[in-house]
Chain A
Amino acid sequence: MTVISTEKDTEALTLTFVAEFDADIQRVWRVWEDPRQLERWWGPPTWPATFQKHDFTLGGRSLYYMTGPDGEKPYSWWVITALDAPNRLEYDEGFADENGEPDSTMGAIHNVVTLDSTGQATRMSVVATFENAEQLQQMLEMGMEEGMRSAMRQIDALLADVSR
């Protein structure tokens, strides 16, 4: 795996991430399509993901939770908004409650995944667009090491004290 490029637009709140894999395009597509493969790479080892539902069709929905170090289980959803196997996938994602009901206050994050064959390899590009910084922050909280989250809570507490 080689990371080809990354580009961040802090005003539009987008991240463009491009990586190349030493595998054919059908094989790379399967790591997105197959929920058992997807959950092996989606969450970090400290926050493994479990996909309870993964309807990989146009308009299809997914529901998954991640299990945190303290046993917390934040839920998230996906809706597939464009699908052209094995080249293009677009999906919106957002946070959900424990019943899988989307959290409407947080809005959706839009993602465009494109796969291109480059000879023997496959280039994968992911463009993620956030509606606001809070979404980004909440998503990151679920992917971070415990020490970092504790440090963040400490700073949050400090900021709360200051604004009182």
Chain B
Amino acid sequence: MVVGILSDTDVDRVFQALADSTRRDIVTRVIRGEQSVSELAAHYAMSFAAVQKHVAVLERAALVRKQRRGRQQIVSGNLPTIRKAAGLLDEYEELWRQRADRIGDILAESRKPKEG
């Protein structure tokens, strides 16, 4: 799914990021179109700083991207990238690396002298 292979830590980050309803809402909004942190903050009954923290959690999980534009911090959804063919081919490559490893193991077995 996400570009490249996800480590357990990455998977945990995605789970944790999506476990919170505000963060799910933020992801939903920024997939539809980029928004500044201030615009996002206007939707929630919480401080700008609190919203900023939620965005940082999403950013660490690679679910959103944040860029500075002038004085504004613009948040955009990273999900289209997640699904790009490049990421899928990376994973497919990993699948073949693992297959080649297993072939190597099987070949190594047949090289061993037969045990009594």
Instruction: Point out which of B84, B88, B101 has the most chain A C-beta atoms below 10 A from its C-beta.
Output: B88
**Docked-complex contact B102 and A126, CB < 8 angstroms:** no
Q: How far is the CB of A9 from chain B (nearest CB, A)?
A: 8
**Docked-complex contact B89 and A10, CB < 8 angstroms:** yes
For B83, the chain A residues whose CB sits under 8 A away are: 133, 137
Q: How far is the CB of B63 from chain A (nearest CB, A)?
A: 8
Interface size on B, residues (CB 8 A): 41
Of the listed stretches A75-83, A86-94, A143-151, chain B binds A143-151
**Docked-complex contact B89 and A23, CB < 8 angstroms:** no
Of the listed stretches B35-43, B47-55, B68-76, B106-114, chain A binds B106-114
Residue B64, interface by CB 8 Å: no
Q: How far is the CB of A77 from chain B (nearest CB, A)?
A: 18
Partner of B27, one of A13, A128, A151, A158: A158
Chain B positions 1-41 with a Cβ under 8 Å from a chain A Cβ: 1-2, 6, 8, 11, 14-15, 18, 24, 27-28, 31-32
Instruction: Point out which of A13, A137, A139 has the most chain B C-beta atoms below 10 A from its C-beta.
Output: A137
Complex CA gap A139/B102 in Å reads 18
For A144, the chain B residues whose CB sits under 8 A away are: 1, 91
Partner of A8, one of B14, B89, B95: B89
**Docked-complex contact A155 and B107, CB < 8 angstroms:** no
Partner of A41, one of B2, B28, B99, B111: B99
For B24, the chain A residues whose CB sits under 8 A away are: 158
For B15, the chain A residues whose CB sits under 8 A away are: 150-151, 154
Q: Which residue of the partner chain B has the closest CB to A1?
A: B104
Q: How far is the CB of B40 from chain A (nearest CB, A)?
A: 16
Instruction: Point out which of B1, B2, B24, B91 has the most chain A C-beta atoms below 10 A from its C-beta.
Output: B1
Complex CA gap A154/B82 in Å reads 14
Known: A28-B103, A40-B106. A15 touches B89 (CB 8 A): yes
Interface size on A, residues (CB 8 A): 41
**Docked-complex contact B11 and A148, CB < 8 angstroms:** yes
**Docked-complex contact A31 and B88, CB < 8 angstroms:** no
Q: How far is the CB of A44 from chain B (nearest CB, A)?
A: 6
For A13, the chain B residues whose CB sits under 8 A away are: 85, 89
Residue A17, interface by CB 8 Å: yes
Q: Which residue of the partner chain A has the closest CB to B12?
A: A147
Partner of A159, one of B79, B99, B103, B110: B79
For B81, the chain A residues whose CB sits under 8 A away are: none
Residue A53, interface by CB 8 Å: no
Q: How far is the CB of B47 from chain A (nearest CB, A)?
A: 25
Residue A37, interface by CB 8 Å: yes
Partner of B6, one of A19, A148, A158: A148
